[in-house]
Amino acid sequence: MTAFPLPEPMRRALALAKDAARDGEVPVGAVVTGPDGKIIAEAANAMRTANDPTAHAEMVAIRAAAEKLGTSRLDGCTLWVSLEPCAMCAGAIAMARIARLAFAAEDPKGGAILHGARFFNQPTCHHRPEVMSGIGEEEAALLLRDFFRDRR
């Protein structure tokens, strides 16, 4: 079996997840790339450090990308995340009109893309990005397992 190299944006999202873990945050990293594939924004989870329950990596990266592009619509952009987004983040992805979502590890407990609410499958969801999962899954899952094991 041939292993394919991870795309640069996912490698960066995983590096940001490692940084988050080092800072005591749940290890999640997110990167937004523009239509040309270049990174335009990135973030790590910052809920504890910012005392902000909405400071998920995805939310912070989406806000930064919108600020940089000067628009609330991230048409043609891709969001790369180390963990399956929750319902809040899925809502933001849809509202921002992100074209593609790529995530590493599935989250059976808190994810809302392939699990739980399955946000993009709901009839009330007005925008559904292309979804790619499992990209860098082993590394992301190991980061999460180690993080939570060390806290128990």
Catalytic: which of 8, 25, 42, 58? 58
Cβ–Cβ < 8 Å for 29, 81: yes
Tokens of 114: 């392939």
Distance, CA of 78 to CA of 99 (rounded, Å): 6
The C-alpha atoms of residue 102 and residue 89 are separated, in whole angstroms, by 13
Residue 56 labelled as part of a binding site: yes
Does the annotation place 115 within a ligand binding site? no
| 58 tagged catalytic | yes
Q: Tell me if 125 is assigned to a ligand binding site.
A: no
C-alpha span between 124 and 146 (Å, rounded)? 37
Where do the H-state alpha helices sit in 1-152? 8-22, 47-50, 57-69, 87-95, 137-151
Whether 54 and 81 have beta carbons less than 8 Å apart is answered as no
Binding residues: 56, 86, 89
Annotated binding residues for Zn(2+), written as ranges, equal 56, 86, 89
Residues known to be catalytic: 58
